[in-house]
Structure 1
Amino acid sequence: MLKRKNSYCLKELLPYVNWVYFYHAWQVEDKTEQVRLRMEAEEIVSAISGRYHAHTIFMLCDANSDGDDIIIEDGTRLPMLRQQTGYGGGHSLCLADFVRPLSHGVTDHIGLFAATVDIGMETDFMSDGYERMMMQLIADRMAEAAAEKLHEDVRKRYWGYAPDENLTKEELFAVKYQGIRPAVGYPSMPDQSLNFIFSDVTGMKDIGIRLTSTGAMKPHASISGMMISHPKSCYFTVGKIGDDQLSDYAARRGVPVGMMRCFLASNLQ
């Protein structure tokens, strides 16, 4: 098992910022206004770069799949959800599909990660609504940029399964690299309460992440998830699930069905 913790100067993360999401959050489509907002954000990042940092933690684990669970080397099970309707008439996907089955007798690997920023980026700038929103959106972009840079370093160095990768930033944002980085709470892994397992395994608290009673992360500008190297891995949406999968998943998670119903409310039929 490899475990690594990093801190980043905010300015060094600017090349890894996907500004499309920044503009979308502002609901700004005018190109001139987008340029103005980006310039303002970059000036702010330069001004606060020595005061605040972004932080990541990464673990490379031996792993295998067992049904729809992913088992890592310490025996921890990461239950995954499977599409109950194959999109476009295709196979119903589950993230466990991209990890070598335990029955093959060959060990595979996955990465577990979390990324965040210093909490002060969300609490120290509250003088007015505009400043508060600007700083929150900058914090969000910095956390995502830290995850992007970490993933690049993982592919090329820490895990090293793509040492010769040489992509432009545009190609990075277009996910032209091998593998995927599914995040907890996102369409292929919608159960936010998985953060309780991820936190126990990775030690999210070591980079300043705390969890609420529902598994939400504080600071808000935080991301957690997996890194999968399978060359045919892809992102997908689990979508709606029935009571049969809800009960099965709750049993695998060791959580009462009623509680899991709350965690997965938006995915229930």
Structure 2
Amino acid sequence: YAHRSLFVEDDTPYGPGVFYAKDAFEGLSLMDRIVVPERRGELIEETLTKARKTLNKPSRESFIAPADASDTERSDTRLIDPPTPPFWGVREMTDYTLGDIWPHLDLKTLFRLHWGGKGVKGEEWEALQNEDFLPRLQAMQADAEAAGWLQPRVRYGFFPANSDKNDLVIFDPEHHARELLRFTFPRQPARERLCLADYFQPLAGGAKDAVAFQVVTMGSAATQRTEETQARGDYSESYFSHGLSVSSAEGLAEMVHQRVRTMLGIGEETGKRYSWGYPSCPELEQHLLVDRLLDMGSIDVEVTDGFQLNPEQTTAAIVIHHPDAKYFALLRSGGGPAATKAPEPVASL
């Protein structure tokens, strides 16, 4: 993206340069080169060379097919008897502590992506992990528990539902015949022609299905801590705090998903959780529909004008119980990147 953004029009690059850093450490390395005139020229030349190569390659978007609203024929996804949830409606989950969330942290993503360990290998990686990251994680977890700068909250609920072509129809949990709203999902134009709505009993069949929604947040105190440490010049603490808060939100989402599976009486690996903004569930505007169902404001979460969730350390998802549910992309016929895969929980590194 940074390479494509470098060119303001056609083949004309933006003079001062556009540079991409995968993390704060690489950002500091880039700044070291930018502030030295002779090194900056070399950096700009390297960036231009890489960017022009990028421009000559087809983008991923060229393989992604736009949703065809006219293609509403159901795929061959099998129909199954739906589970019965323990209740209908929405609740706030409160019976957990931060200690219940920690086992669900994806340490690979935290250490490699959020804490800048990507690309480190061998003995250097072992030293970084054992002498820095793991002790730091334990200390930050203890501090979060004592100081309260991670404040997890959860809203979740079960709703009667049916599919209607590409729509997932959500019904009133108290009056199952009363339609509340609809989610319209895109359909693959090729391969299996999957659509999330296909994982539910069709409206025409008369039998109601069940769907779960969840929203989790680590609270605004996490954002406040990140901003305060940055304001006083402690950029390292700000960086690591932000990474832990984001990973903790994902860990909380995984914990809630596992509990929802248990409540539905399905297997630990049965079904999938889909968040908005990804290929099979792309429309961020649908956060507004989730808000109508779950009342996110009751846990101090809001949908912004750009349809993002605030605080940043917040995720919302639809939980689908169907055993054949999978992650998929909307690919054009005849090629393109492989179907999207969800990150798997990592128990050890």
TM-score norm. by structure 1 comes to 0.78
**Deviation sequence 1:59-89 (CA, Å, 0-9, x none):** 11100011111001132101111122x2xxx
Corresponding residue number in structure 1 for 2:208 = 107
Runs of 4+ displaced beyond 3 Å: none
Select 1:147's aligned residue among 253, 262, 271: 253
Corresponding residue number in structure 2 for 1:16 = 104
The one-letter amino acid of 2:143's match is A
The one-letter amino acid of 1:135's match is S
Unaligned stretches of 5+ in structure 1?
168-176, 241-269
Corresponding residue number in structure 2 for 1:2 = 89
CA-CA distance at 1:153 after TM superposition? 1.0
Q: Work out the CA distance in 2 between the residues paired with 1:83 and 1:34.
A: 41
Whether the aligned pair in 2 keeps the contact of 1:155 and 1:161 (CA below 8 Å) is yes
Question: Secondary structure of the residue that 1:53 maps to in structure 2?
Answer: coil
The answer to whether residue 198 in structure 2 is matched with residue 97 in structure 1 is: yes
Q: Work out the CA distance in 2 between the residues paired with 1:211 and 1:34.
A: 36
**CA RMSD of the aligned region, Å?**
1.8
Unaligned stretches of 5+ in structure 2?
1-87, 173-178, 333-349
Q: Work out the CA distance in 1 between the residues paired with 2:206 and 2:186.
A: 23
Q: Percent identity?
A: 23
Please say which structure displays the higher CA radius of gyration. 2
Select 2:188's aligned residue among 83, 87, 109: 83
Whether the aligned pair in 2 keeps the contact of 1:11 and 1:46 (CA below 8 Å) is no
**Deviation sequence 1:213-269 (CA, Å, 0-9, x none):** 0111111111101001111111112357xxxxxxxxxxxxxxxxxxxxxxxxxxxxx
The one-letter amino acid of 2:253's match is A
Whether the aligned pair in 1 keeps the contact of 2:101 and 2:255 (CA below 8 Å) is yes
The answer to whether residue 218 in structure 2 is matched with residue 120 in structure 1 is: no
Corresponding residue number in structure 2 for 1:33 = 128
Q: Matches of residues 38-187 of structure 1 in structure 2 within 5 Å? A: 38-50=134-146, 51=148, 52-74=150-172, 75=179, 76-84=181-189, 86=190, 90-125=191-226, 126-127=228-229, 128-157=234-263, 160-162=264-266, 165=267, 177-187=269-279
Task: Kindly tell me the number of residue pairs found equivalent between the two proteins.
Answer: 223
The answer to whether residue 315 in structure 2 is matched with residue 223 in structure 1 is: yes
CA pair 236-12 structure 1, distance change in 2 beyond 3 A: same
Question: Secondary structure of the residue that 2:156 maps to in structure 1?
Answer: strand
CA pair 58-239 structure 1, distance change in 2 beyond 3 A: farther
